[in-house]
């Protein structure tokens, strides 16, 4: 029987980007009421954590070998507000190159450093303003 991964398992898989993983998880826990929902796929290391509230997903985190991916889905109205967000060149490029679907844009971001996390946090605030720190 397969067991659910622990935070230690995530950090071991992510490796050099573990500090960024911990930082985004801590930020989400302290600024949003969205509950993390773990999904375990059929393959080894096929894990995702979705932060959801009332059936709406704020963000999805996917640990990978040597890093992780952050999926932010922006709806049409949110896309119009992104111009006011402070994004670094890397995340801005992902936004600009993301395909426009009928329901918005799906941004697959692999954070490399703190600047990328700051841009991801800016995108999340476009989706939903963070609550005051708990």
Reported as a single tens digit per residue, the pLDDT across 116-130 is 999 999 999 999 999
Within-domain flag for 1? no
Tens digit of pLDDT for each residue in 56-97?
A: 999 999 999 999 999 999 999 899 999 888 999 999 999 999
Within-domain flag for 116? yes
pLDDT at 13: 95
* Enclosing domain of residue 41: 7-127
CATH number, position 85: 3.90.1150
- The count of structural domains within the chain is 1
Q: How confident is the model at residue 41 (pLDDT cuts 50, 70, 90)?
A: confident
CA atoms of 52 and 92, how far apart (whole Å): 24
- Cα–Cα distances in angstroms (integers) from residue 26 to residues 6, 29, 31, 50, 65, in the given order: 15, 5, 9, 14, 21
CA 62, 124, 58, 72 dihedral sign is: negative
Mean pLDDT of 33-50: 85
CA atoms of 14 and 21, how far apart (whole Å): 8
Within-domain flag for 97? yes
Within-domain flag for 133? no
Within-domain flag for 21? yes
Instruction: Please indicate whether residue 23 or residue 44 has the higher confidence score (pLDDT).
Output: 23
What are the respective helix, strand and coil percentages of the chain, to the nearest 5? 45, 30, 30
Within-domain flag for 75? yes
């Amino acid at each position: 029987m397969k067991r659910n991964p622990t935070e230690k398992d995530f950090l071991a898989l992510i490796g050099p980007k573990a500090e960024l993983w911990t930082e985004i998880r801590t930020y989400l826990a302290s600024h949003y009421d969205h509950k993390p929902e773990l999904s375990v796929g059929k393959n080894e290391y096929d894990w995702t954590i979705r932060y959801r509230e009332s059936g709406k997903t704020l963000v999805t985190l996917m640990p990978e070998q040597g890093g992780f991916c952050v999926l932010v889905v922006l709806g049409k109205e949110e896309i119009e507000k992104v111009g006011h967000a402070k994004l670094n060149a890397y995340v801005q490029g992902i936004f600009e190159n993301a395909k426009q679907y009928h329901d918005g844009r799906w941004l697959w971001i692999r954070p490399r450093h703190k600047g990328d996390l700051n841009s991801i946090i800016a995108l999340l605030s476009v989706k939903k303003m963070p609550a005051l720190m708990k």
